[in-house]
Amino acid sequence: MGLLIEDDNDGGEVLIPPANFSMVEDGVYRSGFPQLENFGFLSTLNLKSIIYLCAEPYPEENLKSLQSNNIKLFQFGIQGKTDPPTPMPKDTVLSALRVLVDVRNHPILIHCKQGKHRTGCLVGCLRKVQNWCLSSVLEEYQNCAGLKWRQRDLAFIEEFDVHGLRQCLYSIIYQYNGYGLKRRKLLYQEENLVVQEQHKPQATKGW
Amino acid sequence: MGLLIEDDNDGGEVLIPPANFSMVEDGVYRSGFPQLENFGFLSTLNLKSIIYLCAEPYPEENLKSLQSNNIKLFQFGIQGKTDPPTPMPKDTVLSALRVLVDVRNHPILIHCKQGKHRTGCLVGCLRKVQNWCLSSVLEEYQNCAGLKWRQRDLAFIEEFDVHGLRQCLYSIIYQYNGYGLKRRKLLYQEENLVVQEQHKPQATKGW
């Protein structure tokens, strides 16, 4: 777990996670917008990448911190609160999801402004890729959004289709690992192998 | 990350996490009471142990699942909602915390009934051991407890003294790894080494 047992009274650093910080999966974190005071905490995560989901340019001091820690920034400009409300852009979320499921980018932090709506939608889509049941996906979204949860975000997550992405993941695994039984068993129930082979995606189309 | 990309439409298993499930740290999870329908999901975590924080006996079907998966159960019987409210027992929480910080017990799941109050208090104490600032510790408690957060839990976490446990951790590290500079640097700021040496705990007293 890498417990930090430095003691504030003994001169160790008090760690200040960004607002609304939590761990999503091994090597995947989510939060609100990191401030200067959070940089010490973030350095304990040994991040390789950040997915930033706002349209506004990344602040200069955050950029400097990324550069000095060799952290790659993936920005997907999604509008926040607008009047009238703008629908969450499916294609942009799908692009972010592709970065997110690529373990070469881990450890990775996802953040927007509050870490509730845009971040919550992306994490919700990840859970669908992971085959979580929908009610659990929506519960997680709501727990993290608190009183500010939005009905249209729940609808977005519910409607978001992860089949295309899954097929791409299959195709990449086929490409890099061949058609051996051992790898296929990781993906499919054995009794479905024949059906799966018929639906095998073509190369890495769409990536 | 170990992404599960089985497809429900392709015969893969839909995963149902326990209510209020989330990841706390590498190898540390929290949730509400696991039901039969959650066993499939839990098996993906490869748990070595469970910390169960209720006074009631563990259900037979849950016990069977633990036995067949070789998962160790640590029960710390803490009363739930009582009238008048019972204070959270410090010594019991400390005992649970000792099990929790021992990485030999990881991956580990902490749960009570709802995964909000007893679990939230224990996780809050863990964050204090990790030297999180108090406001972040309390924010995490409140996010996970939602509308059911309790003022007395916040006070319990704030008052809980982790110094004794930290000293025990130091003493164990001294015992197993000797007094080499490399290990000490993991614990202390170098300029504080002299002070630290003066306060070196005696063996593993208290464990």
Give one DSSP letter per residue of B113-151, joined into a string: SSSSSHHHHHHHHHHHHTTB-HHHHHHHHHHHHGGG--H
The reply to whether residue A133 touches residue B187, judged by beta carbons under 8 angstroms, is no
The reply to whether residue A9 touches residue B163, judged by beta carbons under 8 angstroms, is yes
Q: Which residues pair with B73 in a beta bridge?
A: B50
What amino acid occupies position A189? Answer: Q
Interface test with B, best of A4, A6, A7, A171 (most B CBs within 10 A): A7
Predicted pLDDT of residue A178: 57
* Residues contacting residue B132 through CB under 8 Å, at least 6 positions apart: A14, A15, A16, A17, A41
> Distances in Å between the alpha carbon of B134 and those of A111, A116, A157, B30, B117?
22, 21, 33, 20, 17
CB-count exposure of residue A192 (10 Å: 0-12, 13-18, 19+): middle
B81 — pLDDT class (breaks 50, 70, 90): confident
Predicted pLDDT of residue A115: 97
Nearest Cα of chain B lies from the Cα of A44 at a distance, in angstroms, of 11
pTM value is 0.81
Residue of A75, A81, A147 whose CA lies nearest to A110? A75
Give B-chain residues touching A41 at CB under 8 angstroms.
132
The reply to whether residue A26 touches residue B26, judged by beta carbons under 8 angstroms, is yes
Distance of CA B157 to the CA centre of its chain: 14
Query: Does residue B7 carry a pLDDT above 50?
Result: no
Give A-chain residues touching B103 at CB under 8 angstroms.
1, 3
Predicted pLDDT of residue A169: 82
B176 — pLDDT class (breaks 50, 70, 90): low
Asked which of B34-48, B103-117, B155-169, B180-194 is least confident by mean pLDDT, the reply is B180-194
Predicted pLDDT of residue B84: 83
Compute the average pLDDT of residues B94-114: 95
Give B-chain residues touching A23 at CB under 8 angstroms.
22-25
Is residue A133 part of the annotated active site? The answer reads no
Query: Does residue B61 carry a pLDDT above 90?
Result: yes
Going by DSSP bridges, is the β-strand pair B28-31/B22-25 parallel, antiparallel, or unpaired? Answer: antiparallel
Predicted pLDDT of residue B3: 45
Out of B22, B103, B187, the one facing A22 most closely (by C-beta) is: B22
Q: Which residues pair with A111 in a beta bridge?
A: A31, A52
What percent of chain B shows pLDDT beyond 70?
77
Out of A5, A15, A103, the one facing B133 most closely (by C-beta) is: A15
Residue of B174, B135, B181, B140 whose CA lies nearest to B158? B135
ipTM of the complex: 0.80
Which residue does chain A place closest to B1, by CA atoms? A26
Out of B27, B131, B195, the one facing A1 most closely (by C-beta) is: B27
Q: Which helix (H) or strand (E) holds B165?
A: helix B163-177
Interface of A with B in 31-90 (CB under 8 A): 41
> Distances in Å between the alpha carbon of B109 and those of A143, A204, B105, B119, B157?
19, 38, 10, 10, 20
Q: What is the pLDDT of residues B10-34, one digit of tens each?
A: 436 899 999 999 999 999 999 999 9
Output the six-digit token pair for A191: 């009794």
Mean pLDDT by groups of 10 residues along chain A of 207 residues: 44 86 96 96 96 97 96 95 86 95 95 97 96 96 93 96 85 63 44 39 36
Output the six-digit token pair for A54: 């706002």
> Distances in Å between the alpha carbon of A190 and those of A163, A170, A172, A187, B4?
20, 15, 20, 9, 16
Domains, chain A, in order of start with CATH, read: 22-177 (3.90.190.10)
Give B-chain residues touching A101 at CB under 8 angstroms.
1, 3
Three-class DSSP labels, A108-174: EEEECCCCCCHHHHHHHHHHHHCCECHHHHHHHHHHHHHHHCCHHHHHHHHHCCCHHHHHHHHHHHH
List the Cα angle B68/B34/B19 in 5-degree steps.
150
The reply to whether residue A131 touches residue B16, judged by beta carbons under 8 angstroms, is no
Q: What is the pLDDT of residues B188-200, one digit of tens each?
A: 443 343 333 334 4
Out of A10, A143, A192, the one facing B188 most closely (by C-beta) is: A10
The reply to whether residue A146 touches residue B146, judged by beta carbons under 8 angstroms, is yes
Distance CA A99, CA A168 (A): 13
Chain A touched by B107 (CB under 8 Å)? no
